[in-house]
Amino acid sequence: MNGGLKLPYSDEFKLPDVVSCIGGCKEAYYCGNECAEADWEAYHSLLCTGERSSALSTKALSKFVQHANETNDIFLLAAKVISFVILRYRKFKEARLGEINDDHKKIRSSYNNPLIMKAWEPVAMGHKSRWWECISLPDDVDDKCSYRMQVKELAFESLQLLKKAIYDEECEPLFSLEIYGHIIGMFEQNNLDLVVQSPLGDYILYIDDLPQNDKKVAEKLTRPILDALGDDYSICCQGTAFFPLQSCMNHSCRPNAKEFNREQDRDGEATIIALEHIKKGEEITISYIDEELPFEERQLLLEDYGFVCKCPKCSEEA
């Protein structure tokens, strides 16, 4: 990060300067000012532990992050959703106050506050179930009820820590265990794995293709790095993401489309590929599971999604 080491031929792989968090925390870094500002506006200003954070308590926020890192980092994604909705609500409220030029109490929050509902809209389309009810159970779990209760208690612990950090009375509904559980359940049932290209793999290949003498000189610096990483040098940055549009696609064991990561799909975007000609007005379906599995195994796996599949393939094999 401090630029103390310059690798040979690194100028052939131009990368943007690393941009630190606007709020001054040491946890978020960006590829440019545009990304840093966008994240600050959408999520991070409320989840930052730095000096400019708008959190109620950065100390409590640090405890929440620590708990998530030690238990399940899906809580960090759930916090981003809540932060996203709160910040959108505040913007809508500010705009509304500007229109009516009246006391803010006239649009105080309630469970039916249209501004909260409007702020929630981008998240609303994803199918949701309580996390502890839809979570995939490990094979070695004998007592399913006990396991689900432990997961629920874990979510409760996380939520209490988050409330101490960013609670907003006007957005009280967002801090209920019911909503928190449904947000995490939405991730459980809708999130896609994604990859973002790491430049290191291409760099190592470039060094390997150099003329022998140039390669020997360069490898004096690059070889220790490669030895330390082993086969991991070519691994892309991996993550998970919620894509609202993709989450609207229903399942079929005989889908006409699929999520697909080609070699060139390394930018973090969702890619959906048609498997056949899809007529105008025809529903686009994807498979949530391995559709090549036997009928009984497919039905068992789909129980986690809360439905019995009656697609043409299952109807034929039932």
pLDDT of residue 109: 46
Give me the percent of the chain exceeding a pLDDT of 90: 54
Residue 125 and residue 137: Cα distance in Å, rounded? 25
Residue 120 above 80 pLDDT?
yes
Give me the percent of the chain exceeding a pLDDT of 70: 92
42-53 average pLDDT score: 96
Residue 276 and residue 56: Cα distance in Å, rounded? 52
pLDDT band at 38 (very low <50, low <70, confident <90, very high): very high
Q: Which two tokens stand for residue 225?
A: 């790095």
Residue in the block written with tokens 């973090």: 268
Buried b (16+ CB within 10 A) or exposed e, 148-174: beebbebbeebbebbbbbbbbebbebb
Highest mean pLDDT among 15-19, 55-59, 218-222: 55-59
Say whether 258 sits in a helix, a strand or coil. Answer: strand
pLDDT band at 1 (very low <50, low <70, confident <90, very high): very low
pLDDT of residue 248: 84
Kindly report the average pLDDT of the chain as a whole number.
Answer: 87
Dihedral sign computed on CA atoms, order 226, 227, 233, 234:
positive
Q: 122-153, pLDDT tens digit by residue?
A: 888 777 889 998 888 787 888 889 999 999 99
Q: How far is CA 45 from CA 41, 56, 86, in A?
A: 7, 11, 11
pLDDT of residue 315: 94
Among 172, 141, 177, 146, smallest CA distance to 159 is for: 177
pLDDT of residue 259: 82
- Surface-to-core class of residue 10, CB atoms within 10 Å of its CB (0-12 exposed, 13-18 middle, 19+ buried): middle
pLDDT of residue 294: 94
Q: Please report the domains of the chain, with CATH numbers, ordered by start residue.
A: 1-54 (no CATH), 56-82+103-190 (no CATH), 198-235 (no CATH), 243-317 (2.170.270.10)
Higher pLDDT, 76 or 197: 76
Strand runs (DSSP E) across 210-300, as ranges?
Answer: 237-241, 250-251, 257-259, 272-274, 285-286
H-assigned helices in the chain: 33-39, 45-47, 58-70, 74-100, 114-124, 131-134, 144-166, 177-190, 199-208, 212-229, 295-302, 312-317
pLDDT of residue 149: 95
pLDDT band at 200 (very low <50, low <70, confident <90, very high): confident
Q: 217-276, pLDDT tens digit by residue?
A: 998 888 888 888 887 777 777 777 888 888 889 999 999 999 876 555 556 677 889 999
Q: Which two tokens stand for residue 56?
A: 């109620």
Residue 172 and residue 180: Cα distance in Å, rounded? 12
